[in-house]
């Protein structure tokens, strides 16, 4: 028996969509998984015969009795994802897990309900699904998810081997994200500086915003670890999605060792509070006030609380456990 996992290519290498999948695969290789490369392309240009030939090539290393983890979305058409699982299902005694990173129809306003149901039909072809949060699981079950074996992801990992310095006490906030999707950026007018990183060209409109452009993972970690706070905020539209998804930027902040400020109601808010990793707030003003008023001793206590989880994230331990649990659950129950 062999273990396989899909990996995404052909999208903007700066985007978290591709970074998250490739980080999972990097960790999976250490556990003996074989990579199955998927490419983002205009699927609608393929005939059914051409698509089948393409998928036969992609799955050529898969055999009867193997285990496959399919990371979704592939960011191709849902019909592509279904065709991929159809081809995998041709193998006898195969075990399939779907690792849900994002649900595309929930990310953008105006997506028809039919598209969500089509996506859930693909999930239902799996023996096990990995979901980003319990609220996401509840939502999908209400919409028709029927897979009985489910695992809930606890945290993204950010494999990183270089040593980072201990963050210093700095009254500033870091945020990584496209300002077009996060309306609070343009209205930022607080005394606390906001350091913004995005690969989109951006004309600074708010006050006290320091635009840093795009930085790769190593550069971001070095910037963050110099000291400050990482901010996690709801995107403007659709406003509910961040209550369901697993925030990749949370792991980046924690890997760098800095405290986090999260908007109330978003995923992982309670874990941040329970483990003393930062604060939850109702408004940007409240976030700025916390940074203005916190003492250096209080800040260093938060930094100390984060050390262990930073080690786990950088070492890929959350993903290793998730992958091992997936294999155990599929094969032993």
Burial of 42 by CB count in 10 Å (0-12 exposed, 13-18 middle, 19+ buried)?
exposed
Nearest Cα to Cα of residue 17 among 101, 105, 131: 101
Q: Is 171 annotated as a binding residue?
A: no
Yes or no: say if 230 and 252 are a contact pair by the CB < 8 Å rule. Answer: yes
Q: Is 250 annotated as a binding residue?
A: yes
**The tokens 């599929």 sit on which residue?**
330
Q: Is 101 annotated as a binding residue?
A: no
Q: Is 251 annotated as a binding residue?
A: yes
Q: Is 236 annotated as a binding residue?
A: no
Helix (H, G, I), strand (E, B) or coil at 180: coil
* Cross-strand pairs, 263: 281
Q: Is 203 annotated as a binding residue?
A: no
Q: Is 249 annotated as a binding residue?
A: yes
Q: Residue 233 — left, alpha, or beta (φ > 0 → left; ψ -120 to 50 → alpha)?
A: beta
**The tokens 């006898």 sit on which residue?**
92
Read off φ and ψ for residue 71, nearest 5 degrees.
-85, 120
Q: Is 247 annotated as a binding residue?
A: yes
Which residues belong to the annotated binding site? 16, 181, 247-252
Binding site members for UDP: 16, 181, 247-252
């Amino acid at each position: 028996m062999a273990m396989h996992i899909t990996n995404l290519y052909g999208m903007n290498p700066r985007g978290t969509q591709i970074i998250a999948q490739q980080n999972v695969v990097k960790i999976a290789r250490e556990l003996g998984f074989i990579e199955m490369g998927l490419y983002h392309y205009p699927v609608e240009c393929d005939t059914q015969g051409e698509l089948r030939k393409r998928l036969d090539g992609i799955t050529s290393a898969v055999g009867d009795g193997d285990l496959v983890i399919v990371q979704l979305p592939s960011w191709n058409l849902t019909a592509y994802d279904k065709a991929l699982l159809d081809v995998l299902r041709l193998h006898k005694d195969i075990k399939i897990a779907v690792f849900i990173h994002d649900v595309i129809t929930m990310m953008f306003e105006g997506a028809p309900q039919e598209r969500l149901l089509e996506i859930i039909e693909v999930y239902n072809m799996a023996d096990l699904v990995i979901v980003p949060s319990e609220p996401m699981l509840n939502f999908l079950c209400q919409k028709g998810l029927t897979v009985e074996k489910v695992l809930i992801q606890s945290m993204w990992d950010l494999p990183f081997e270089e040593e980072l310095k201990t963050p210093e006490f700095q009254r500033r906030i870091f945020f990584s994200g496209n300002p077009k999707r996060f309306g609070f950026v343009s209205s930022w007018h607080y005394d606390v500086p906001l350091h913004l990183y995005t690969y989109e060209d951006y004309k600074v409109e708010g006050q006290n915003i320091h635009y840093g452009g795009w930085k790769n993972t190593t550069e971001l970690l070095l910037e963050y670890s110099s000291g400050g706070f990482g901010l996690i905020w709801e995107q403007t539209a659709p406003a509910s999605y961040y209550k369901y998804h697993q925030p990749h930027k949370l792991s980046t902040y924690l890997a760098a060792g800095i405290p986090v400020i999260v908007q109330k109601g978003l995923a992982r808010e309670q874990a941040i509070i329970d483990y003393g990793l930062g604060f939850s707030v109702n408004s940007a003003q409240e976030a700025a006030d916390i940074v203005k008023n916190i003492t250096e001793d209080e800040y260093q206590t938060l930094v100390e609380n984060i050390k262990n989880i930073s080690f786990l994230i950088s070492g890929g331990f959350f993903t290793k456990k998730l992958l091992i649990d997936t294999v155990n659950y599929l094969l032993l129950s």
